[in-house]
Structure 1
Amino acid sequence: MGGFFGTISNTACATDLFYGIDYNSHLGTRRGGMVTLHEGVFNRAIHNLENSYFRLRFEADLDKFQGNSGIGVISDTDPQPIFLSSHLGKYAVATVAKVNNISELEKEILDNGGHFTEFNSGQINQTELIALLLSEKKSFIEGIEYVFSKIKGSCSMLILTEDGIIAARDRWGRTPVLVGKKDGAYAVSSEPCSFPNLEYELVYNIGPGEIVKLTSDSMTQLHKPNDKMQICSFLWAYYGYPTSDYEGINVDTVRHACGMAMAKKDTVEADYVAAIPESGIGMGLGYSEGKGIPYRRALIKYTPTWPRSFTPANQKIRELVAKMKLIPNHQLLKDKKIIFCDDSIVRGTQLKDNVEILYGYGAKEVHIRIGCPPILYSCPFIGFTTSRSPLELIARRTVKELEGDENKDLKKYATTDSEQYTNMVECIRKKLKITTLKYNSVEDLVESIGLPKESICTYCYNGEGEDY
């Protein structure tokens, strides 16, 4: 997916920029980049993060980042930020985006005499494409609106100009963009967890399609937010950081509510509740409270050599790292009936490995409770998972096994407690060798989040959501 951070101050910004970007590290796995502006000159560095993590890669570069304004990004796509000179002036741009019609737009630009300079694995750089679209119009506001109208997918962006930072949130608000303030400085980030330790106070949620401009002492609205929003529900279920608030709603509070909702409907008996760390913990604590049975730490995440920001892009290495990070507590597992809470099941590989470990250490029963519904659709709007094909999803593969066609009766499979849904969940349970398996319903997830259903995208669960 990716996340960005920008700051503009009346003093040097490099330290805030460096740590602010790092607080977005859990959102991306491939590359990091940062750029500052000093006396009309852009200073930039981009590094591969697949075999390391942001702080180690960029610490040695810090001295070169002079100036009072800068932007940076943790990216799951191409090397960025991109900087260029156009009739709009000199500027740099960083994006959190998924452009599904990139080939069509590339052809259109080339046919009109344009050209590209940045490539990644033989493909054009989508952030450069967005920058070229921006430059086709007479102003940044017109250019951003043009980008929103042209791309199929989503795009939020930060633009570092010679007189400020322009922040624009995707027109459907699928990913968050938030503003923080402290004396003499503003910051903007995908993750508000980047603000407190840098002494910024969260002061504003940029709305869907809204554009604002930041200077060291002001925030100016350049375009009002759109009336409709489709923010990703998976933000609260999984990839949002527990301390973060989006649309005024705290991530850990939502996960706790998901656990409470599950506990109210569950009749299983167990010795205690545990969680698959880290994103299952909030739900596990909520379930424990709602069920009235103790919470214990039967799996512990080992962090000294496997920090959160280290998430290799290679799937096999990622699975190995995921296994290495979790250490089972033998004394808590032996001969116990345990309810394990987790955020989601995407492919199922990691959970299957974890379950085998739990049984291997003597667990008598393993009951899995999932905070969100089964994921039946690959997301066309943001890159929250590396799944390209629906058949990479364990729920969709199960539909194909049951029906012979992965697209048959998907609405019925997405309907909680329907015959098809029940059969699908039972098949997944058997594959993963779990004693029992239950998912939260879409309705319970939406209620736990607390926003109107029409403001939340649930496409990955039921195929429902606004078009591009």
Structure 2
Amino acid sequence: MDDLKEVHEECGVFGIFQHQDAAQLCYYGLHALQHRGQEGAGILVSHQDHLSLHKGEGLVTEVFNPDKINNLHGIHAIGHVRYSTAGGGGIMNVQPLLFRTMNGDMGICHNGNIVNADVLRLELESQGSIFSSSSDTEILGHLIKRQKGHMIDRICVSLDQLDGAFAFLILLEDCLYAVRDRYGLRPLAIGQLPNGSYVFASETCALDIVGAQFIRDIEPGEIVRVKNNQLLSRIYTQKTIHDQICAMEYVYFSRPDSTIDGINVHTTRKNAGKQLYYESPVDADIVIGVPDSSISAAIGYAEASHIPYEMGLIKNKYVGRTFIQPTQELRNQGVRMKLSAVASIVKDKKVIMIDDSIVRGTTSKRIVSLLKEAGAKEVHVRIASPAIKYPCFYGVDTSTLKELISHQMNVSQLCQYIGADSLAFISEEGLKRSIHFKKEYTCDLCMACFNKQYVTPLYNNEFEHD
């Protein structure tokens, strides 16, 4: 069956430099980033003049056990959790990717999507490159190998050929590079442990879990090198740099305890819930949130409306991934395994159900049905993001128009389809106001999935209707 939540982000990265327990700390960091990808995980370590890799398909706890971690000897490490979008699944696409060359080993892991990947791959193959995976991450490795000069210059020249959304970690025997795309679409933070070791992570929650103090975010278009435990920073591109973080990082992808570009995620979601009430109030008895990423917005809606917040939906955190079932009845049973309506709370109540997004509509329809079967008198759905009408080409698995129900239906039609008594989305301006609540925060947001205003050219990526 479909996963409970409908949107998936591609992955998360974690790196640590100069620590005797590098692999163990990398494991903890990846565990904190597990929400960003559940299909595969890997850790690459550097020990003297050799890189060692272990990776596999599944959750972090399924891929690694104490013996595997203890066998990863090294003082530097990078790690990755993956949800496949570009390139598809399979063990060959699980990262980090390891390149063994005559000039030494190199490991790369990547969060995001390179929109000109097909153009670059065709060019590289015409020049004799042979790819061992279908992941766009491998393109950077081939580009670097074709350059000359100092490694940082080779990496910078290669990065400047890439377009799209990405955060890269690149590990050599004696140094680690961390990179963010020129638009700042994907987050990447720097932290430091009490012993002075530097740590890099897609989200600050992973810094917290290993006891690292947040230093700063890597800037758009910036490459940071750590060698001999000293940081070197430079801008790798002369092309126009925009700071346009993906709005969905705040809406859904990131953990609520993470801070992205100086903004706490829980606070933005709570603000969005309040804004939802101001824009779309409704008379009801209780407010509930769809676990887990909608809880903050539901609390905000309840505070603004003075309608009690209740735990009307409970998520079973111990249900693993399930297979597609052959009948609708069994598919619905799969939903009940993952999510339960609390009948004693929702029975005979007018319920406001807060969710973060509607993509394909199937999950929302099933949850509304669960609530009504549990005795809810009315179910009013409020969504803490604008309607998702257009595909994302920057690392989210919404690549076709046919997947997006808000592209096919207007709000009234969608309300009827999911069986709700009313339906409303937050406005684009309302979402911006929720995120830009700090006056000093001047970054723009990528909202292409709402308004079709893409940050980059789309190259060979086209809208697929069928």
Structure 2 length-normalised TM: 0.87
Which residue matches 1:460? Answer: 449
Which residue matches 1:221? Answer: 233
Alignment partners' CA distance in 2, 1:454 and 1:321: 41
Which of 423, 429, 435 is the aligned partner of 2:415? 429
- SS of structure 1 residue aligned to 2:26: helix
Which residue matches 1:173? Answer: 184
Alignment partners' CA distance in 1, 2:322 and 2:64: 17
Which residue matches 1:204? Answer: 216
Alignment partners' CA distance in 2, 1:9 and 1:319: 49
Alignment partners' CA distance in 1, 2:163 and 2:323: 25
What are the equivalent positions in structure 2 for 1:136-155 lying under 5 Å apart?
136-138=146-148, 139-155=150-166
Q: In 2, are the aligned partners of 1:20 and 1:194 still within 8 Å (CA)? A: yes
- SS of structure 1 residue aligned to 2:434: helix
Which residue matches 1:239? Answer: 253
Q: In 1, are the aligned partners of 2:389 and 2:450 still within 8 Å (CA)? A: yes
1:448 aligns with 2:437: no
Question: Gaps (5+ residues) in structure 2?
Answer: 1-9, 85-92, 458-466
Alignment partners' CA distance in 1, 2:44 and 2:268: 35
Alignment partners' CA distance in 1, 2:162 and 2:57: 26
Which residue matches 1:130? Answer: 140
Task: Measure how far apart 1:261 and its partner are.
Answer: 0.8
What are the equivalent positions in structure 2 for 1:81-92 lying under 5 Å apart?
81-86=96-101, 89-92=104-107
Change (3 A) 1:217 1:296: same
Which residue matches 2:90? Answer: none
Which residue matches 1:413? Answer: none
Task: Measure how far apart 1:136 and its partner are.
Answer: 1.9
Change (3 A) 1:31 1:299: same
- SS of structure 2 residue aligned to 1:372: coil
Which residue matches 1:253? Answer: 267
Note the alpha carbon deviations across 1:209-257, whole angstroms, 9 max, x for none.
1100124733221337974211100110011100000001011000000
Alignment partners' CA distance in 2, 1:73 and 1:34: 7
Which residue matches 1:64? Answer: 71
Which residue matches 1:20? Answer: 29
Note the alpha carbon deviations across 1:83-135, whole angstroms, 9 max, x for none.
2244764211111131344333222112112222x23xxxx332222211122
Alignment partners' CA distance in 2, 1:425 and 1:153: 31
1:111 aligns with 2:126: yes
1:164 aligns with 2:139: no
- SS of structure 2 residue aligned to 1:150: coil
193-202 or 362-371, which moves further after superposition?
193-202
Which residue matches 2:364? Answer: 351
Q: In 1, are the aligned partners of 2:32 and 2:209 still within 8 Å (CA)? A: no
Q: What's the Cα RMSD here?
A: 2.3
- SS of structure 2 residue aligned to 1:195: helix
Alignment partners' CA distance in 2, 1:290 and 1:269: 13
- SS of structure 1 residue aligned to 2:109: strand
Note the alpha carbon deviations across 1:291-313, whole angstroms, 9 max, x for none.
0111010101122x23xxx5579
Q: In 1, are the aligned partners of 2:44 and 2:79 still within 8 Å (CA)? A: yes
Q: In 2, are the aligned partners of 1:229 and 1:455 still within 8 Å (CA)? A: yes
Alignment partners' CA distance in 2, 1:215 and 1:17: 18
Task: Measure how far apart 1:322 and its partner are.
Answer: 5.2
Question: Gaps (5+ residues) in structure 1?
Answer: 399-423
Alignment partners' CA distance in 2, 1:318 and 1:220: 52
Alignment partners' CA distance in 2, 1:236 and 1:35: 29
Q: In 2, are the aligned partners of 1:312 and 1:318 still within 8 Å (CA)? A: no
Q: In 2, are the aligned partners of 1:338 and 1:366 still within 8 Å (CA)? A: yes
Q: In 2, are the aligned partners of 1:141 and 1:223 still within 8 Å (CA)? A: no
Q: Residue type matched to 1:18 in 2?
A: Y
Note the alpha carbon deviations across 1:147-167, whole angstroms, 9 max, x for none.
444334322210111222100
Change (3 A) 1:387 1:369: same
Alignment partners' CA distance in 2, 1:324 and 1:145: 48
**Identity within the alignment, %:** 30
Note the alpha carbon deviations across 1:48-89, whole angstroms, 9 max, x for none.
11xxx2112211411211111010101223222112244764
Alignment partners' CA distance in 1, 2:302 and 2:382: 12
314-323 or 337-346, which moves further after superposition?
314-323
- SS of structure 1 residue aligned to 2:231: strand
What are the equivalent positions in structure 2 for 1:381-396 lying under 5 Å apart?
382-384=394-396, 386-396=397-407
Alignment partners' CA distance in 2, 1:200 and 1:375: 36
Change (3 A) 1:277 1:179: same
Alignment partners' CA distance in 1, 2:188 and 2:324: 28
Task: Measure how far apart 1:290 and its partner are.
Answer: 0.4
